[in-house]
Amino acid sequence: MKHSTKPRSSCPINYSLEIVGDAWSLLILRDIIYFGKHTFGEFHASSEGIARNILTNRLTKLEQNGILTKQPHPDGRKDTYMVTEKGLDLVPILLVSAEWGASYGIEVDAPAWWLDTVRTHREQITREIKQAVREGRSVFIGDNSVASKYLPADLAVSQ
C-alpha cells in the first residue's frame, strides 16, 4: 500500500477523495452501516466481489485514517471492524450517494419507500443511523433496524 503523509492539495474535496474516494471504501462503510457486517469474510462475501488484497488494503487505509477501528472478534480467529465517529460523519454521503445512484442508475436495487423517507427526513434519519450503529444495529438488518421504524404498513404486514 502506498503511504502518503501529505495530501496532494489543501482542497477539502481532494482530502475527502484521498480517504474514501476509491471504488471500495464507501462500500465497506455501507456494509457495516446498512447491513451490520463487521468481519473480513462478511465484506469479502458482498456482491461486488472485492479481491482479498484490495479489501485488506482498504480496511488498513480506513483504520489508519480513523474511519474504522479493528478489534479481536470474540471467537479469537478474526477481527471485527467498527465505524468511528469520524466514519459516522460519512453517513450523509452514503445517503446522498444512494439517492443519486437510484435516480440515475440502471436497474438499481433500492427500496423507493426508503429513498422517499430519507429525502423527507434526512437529518432525522442521519441521527438515527448514527445512533443505531453506535448501539450495534444497522439500517436494514434486524428487528430493531432503522428502516423497520419507517417500513410502510402494507410492507410490514407482508413480512
Residue with cell 436494514: 140
Pick the CATH number of 12-145 from 1.10.10.10, 1.20.1630.10, 3.30.1490.190, 3.40.50.20: 1.10.10.10
Q: What is the pLDDT along the chain (159 residues), one digit of tens a residue?
A: 455 567 788 899 998 998 898 989 999 999 999 999 999 999 999 999 999 999 999 999 999 999 999 999 888 889 999 999 999 999 999 999 999 999 998 788 888 899 999 999 999 999 999 999 999 999 999 989 999 999 887 666 554
Cβ-count burial of 65 within 10 angstroms (0-12 exposed, 13-18 middle, 19+ buried)? middle
Q: Which amino acid does the sequence have at 88?
A: L
DSSP bridge partners of 81: 70
Q: Return all residues near 119 (Cβ < 8 A) that are at least 6 apart.
A: 99
- Return the amino acid letter for 110: A
What does the alpha-carbon distance between residue 84 and residue 110 come to, in Å, rounded to a whole number?
A: 26
Separation CA 88–CA 130 (nearest Å): 6
Q: pLDDT at position 120, please?
A: 95
pTM (predicted TM-score) = 0.89
